Chains A and B, each alone.
Chain A
């Protein structure tokens, strides 16, 4: 329903992905990858929020609607949230989000939630690279009218 079978797995396809990163952990983790100059695919466009608790499911839906092929939400590890528990809220909302995606025919794999700490530059690179590959394999997102 979503991906056009002919382009699925096509290496020429460059997915567009939105990444929501919290300022204190995951965004700092991304900066860490930067200072280490570890390359990763440029497909993820980062939107910085102060806390993953700020990420409203409508942002994710909007991203898909505006042409994103995938969305990734990165939060502080459990117990590390700068704002005590925003990451738990984000995790809760993510579970709800997954249910919202189904009726639109958006595969779960297109929306990923993970934890990246300020020190985990390597993990950031790994998670982003995996996400890009996952979405590339799924092909472009086509939401039926």
Chain B
């Protein structure tokens, strides 16, 4: 097997330390058939061309490149091999520059070390297999889970490229949290108005026909892998046909039953047939099966009698299961707020007029329970409001992280209170203030310059307590300088930590995508790939990955789409790297150790053949299973036992 050794001088970088002539002599002593050639700058265009030409002319079959770090130029030289008609895996690179020439003081010892490395590479490369990249057909369509800002943005950009999107939303309404907010920081834009065009595009826009929206639905099963997933989606019955319903709301008034409206945090009532809130899209009500008299077997048909169109209300609607084939999945299920009853001293759930920020958003919303009027339970405008920041945040006893959005919406609240109820006193209790960004300071400065606003910084939320009494609600505090005091507040707003959505763990299990310590969906890499999960083909967008504002959620929706649009192209096959694990079924004892150690759930057990099977698409080639297999039945391609052992043996000679 003719082996060519190409020695890059890298100008003087390598040549000054390592004696190429000595290396050549030593190699030829080992094997006179070795073809040795030096190149000045191998990575230059001339260098690459010279090597390609030399490979062809000398009919070289195996190649050793002695140059810089393979982390720099392994792929460069693999391409040179391909160009010369050689299989690119029949090459071994020796890192003579970074790991010998630049770090070894004595030139003799550097040359000796390079000689051993190159000899080991020559031995190793003889054992290399001509690995082939595999290609598989893919489905370019995408499943988006969650129709909040992140999911909507992703769905639209993918649909706009002509692909099909299945958009699955758990609730009867799309738009996520911000459609419930009257105004948005940092610029006090109206939430529903800002999202309206996006929602309109999803429902009726140019590419709407590419989007299959399934509301009141959840993903219950996923099989397959990147390029070829099959998802099972279960949809609860709405009892209203969205195609027929004209959204006139005639059905609501006659309905004789009501219950707490969860979309308004239970602060008002809704009927058994209702819209989550005025203006909710899709513009069709839904029926709460548990409340509806007809659905509970009673005689009532009042809503149907009031409905001006035939067939809009369907009492015999039933749960449906959909199966869809897709190539990639975007998780955009958003988040929840920390349960404030876990800080009992704040009185939430026990005292009147203590609200979470989410509840207060609904109080301020014109389509909310009080039509946008800020009122206490007694029906009066509050003369004083306390806003407690950092509830459960930056706190080792609760959540150790900062949610990053609370300060900003707290100053948004300050602004709205000032606007709606001029002269109202607002007291901010905070642990830290966080207001990064080029626009975000505006509301903060406004709050700071409001003569009615005061700020109290505390060290530990344990030093705050809220008590009710004849005089109203009193907040006792000790500030960060140790000074104690008390403030009367007619209304208290708590800004709780943003936490993972309640069933994201269950969805994580369905998708096999892991959660981080805090329970958010775990990204592949915090800086490089935060819109990608560790499962290939499962992408993350919005607050399901980490607390963030709408801008970032939208950006992440676009980022997730970007990965898919560039990685999964209709008509183009998906390339599978051959540096992966391969099970020899004859040697496999079926012990399943490999299944347990694989970090990518790429190995499964075939119960019929009783052997382990590696999924090439999921395998990332780490080789953990190879080292774990007690029967040596798994081959780690390009890092085989034989290759590594030969390298060890030769380098020690």
Chain A contact residues, CB within 8 Å of chain B: 16, 18, 23, 27-28, 30-31, 33-35, 37-40, 42, 45-51, 53-59, 62-63, 66-68, 82-86, 89, 93, 125
Asked whether B105 is an interface residue with its Cβ less than 8 Å from the other chain, the reply is: yes
Task: Determine if A45 and B645 form an interchain contact, defined as CB atoms under 8 angstroms apart.
Answer: no
Asked whether B589 is an interface residue with its Cβ less than 8 Å from the other chain, the reply is: no
Task: Determine if A49 and B70 form an interchain contact, defined as CB atoms under 8 angstroms apart.
Answer: no
Task: Determine if B599 and A59 form an interchain contact, defined as CB atoms under 8 angstroms apart.
Answer: no
Given contacts A27-B71, A33-B98, A42-B104, 4 further A-B contacts (CB under 8 A): A50-B622, A50-B639, A62-B648, A67-B652
- A132 nearest CB across to chain B (Å): 12
Which single residue of chain A is at the shortest CB-CB distance from B620? A83
Q: Roughly how many angstroms separate A31 CA and B73 CA in the complex, as a whole number?
A: 13
Task: Determine if B99 and A30 form an interchain contact, defined as CB atoms under 8 angstroms apart.
Answer: yes
Q: Roughly how many angstroms separate A51 CA and B579 CA in the complex, as a whole number?
A: 12
Which single residue of chain A is at the shortest CB-CB distance from B628? A89
Task: Determine if B71 and A86 form an interchain contact, defined as CB atoms under 8 angstroms apart.
Answer: no
A-B contact pairs, 17 of them (CB 8 A): A18-B651, A31-B71, A39-B103, A42-B110, A45-B651, A47-B647, A47-B648, A49-B623, A50-B622, A50-B623, A54-B636, A58-B645, A59-B644, A59-B648, A63-B648, A67-B652, A84-B534
Task: Determine if B102 and A53 form an interchain contact, defined as CB atoms under 8 angstroms apart.
Answer: no
Asked whether B463 is an interface residue with its Cβ less than 8 Å from the other chain, the reply is: no
Using Cβ atoms and an 8 Å threshold, which residues of chain B touch A42?
100, 103-104, 106, 109-110, 112-113
Task: Determine if A47 and B652 form an interchain contact, defined as CB atoms under 8 angstroms apart.
Answer: no
Asked whether B641 is an interface residue with its Cβ less than 8 Å from the other chain, the reply is: yes
Which single residue of chain B is at the shortest CB-CB distance from A24? B71
Known contacts A37-B102, A86-B622: A16-B628 contact under CB 8 Å:
no
Q: Roughly how many angstroms separate A30 CA and B105 CA in the complex, as a whole number?
A: 16
Which single residue of chain A is at the shortest CB-CB distance from B93? A48
Asked whether B477 is an interface residue with its Cβ less than 8 Å from the other chain, the reply is: no
Which single residue of chain A is at the shortest CB-CB distance from B636? A54
- A46 nearest CB across to chain B (Å): 6
Q: Which of B97, B636, B644 contacts A47 (CB 8 A)?
A: B644
Task: Determine if A89 and B652 form an interchain contact, defined as CB atoms under 8 angstroms apart.
Answer: no
Known contacts A47-B651, A49-B639, A89-B597: A59-B622 contact under CB 8 Å:
no
Complex interface bits, B607-635 against A, C-beta within 8 A gives 1, otherwise 0: 00000000000001111101110000000
Q: Roughly how many angstroms separate A88 CA and B407 CA in the complex, as a whole number?
A: 39
Task: Determine if A54 and B622 form an interchain contact, defined as CB atoms under 8 angstroms apart.
Answer: yes
Q: Which of A28, A53, A93 contacts B623 (CB 8 A)?
A: A53
Q: Roughly how many angstroms separate A125 CA and B103 CA in the complex, as a whole number?
A: 9
- Secondary structure at the B interface, as helix, strand, loop or mixed, is helix
- B240 nearest CB across to chain A (Å): 45
Q: Roughly how many angstroms separate A57 CA and B103 CA in the complex, as a whole number?
A: 29
Q: Roughly how many angstroms separate A42 CA and B648 CA in the complex, as a whole number?
A: 16
Chain B interface residue count: which class? 35 or more
Which single residue of chain A is at the shortest CB-CB distance from B117? A45
Using Cβ atoms and an 8 Å threshold, which residues of chain B touch A125?
103
- Secondary structure at the A interface, as helix, strand, loop or mixed, is mixed
Using Cβ atoms and an 8 Å threshold, which residues of chain B touch A89?
597, 624, 627-628
Task: Determine if B103 and A40 form an interchain contact, defined as CB atoms under 8 angstroms apart.
Answer: yes
Known contacts A30-B98, A34-B99: A68-B622 contact under CB 8 Å:
no
10 closest pairs, A vs B, by CB?
A34-B98, A54-B623, A53-B624, A83-B622, A51-B622, A84-B599, A56-B627, A45-B651, A31-B98, A34-B102
- A21 nearest CB across to chain B (Å): 9
Using Cβ atoms and an 8 Å threshold, which residues of chain B touch A63?
648, 652
Using Cβ atoms and an 8 Å threshold, which residues of chain A touch B113?
42, 45
Asked whether B116 is an interface residue with its Cβ less than 8 Å from the other chain, the reply is: yes
Which single residue of chain B is at the shortest CB-CB distance from A27? B71
- A87 nearest CB across to chain B (Å): 10
Using Cβ atoms and an 8 Å threshold, which residues of chain B touch A93?
627
Task: Determine if B103 and A55 form an interchain contact, defined as CB atoms under 8 angstroms apart.
Answer: no
Q: Which of B99, B579, B626 contacts A56 (CB 8 A)?
A: B626
Task: Determine if A86 and B599 form an interchain contact, defined as CB atoms under 8 angstroms apart.
Answer: yes
- A130 nearest CB across to chain B (Å): 16
Using Cβ atoms and an 8 Å threshold, which residues of chain B touch A55?
627
Asked whether B95 is an interface residue with its Cβ less than 8 Å from the other chain, the reply is: yes
Task: Determine if A53 and B622 form an interchain contact, defined as CB atoms under 8 angstroms apart.
Answer: yes
Which single residue of chain B is at the shortest CB-CB distance from A22? B622
Using Cβ atoms and an 8 Å threshold, which residues of chain A touch B116?
45
Task: Determine if B649 and A37 form an interchain contact, defined as CB atoms under 8 angstroms apart.
Answer: no
In B135-174, the 8 Å CB interface with A consists of none
Using Cβ atoms and an 8 Å threshold, which residues of chain A touch B69?
31, 34
- B360 nearest CB across to chain A (Å): 37
- B499 nearest CB across to chain A (Å): 21
- A129 nearest CB across to chain B (Å): 11
Which single residue of chain A is at the shortest CB-CB distance from B517? A79
Q: Roughly how many angstroms separate A98 CA and B71 CA in the complex, as a whole number?
A: 31
Using Cβ atoms and an 8 Å threshold, which residues of chain B touch A46?
95, 99
Known contacts A16-B652, A42-B104: A53-B627 contact under CB 8 Å:
yes
Q: Roughly how many angstroms separate A30 CA and B649 CA in the complex, as a whole number?
A: 22
Q: Roughly how many angstroms separate A100 CA and B175 CA in the complex, as a whole number?
A: 60
Task: Determine if A35 and B645 form an interchain contact, defined as CB atoms under 8 angstroms apart.
Answer: no
Using Cβ atoms and an 8 Å threshold, which residues of chain B touch A45?
113, 116-117, 120, 651-652
Q: Roughly how many angstroms separate A68 CA and B35 CA in the complex, as a whole number?
A: 30
- B270 nearest CB across to chain A (Å): 45
Using Cβ atoms and an 8 Å threshold, which residues of chain B touch A35?
98, 102
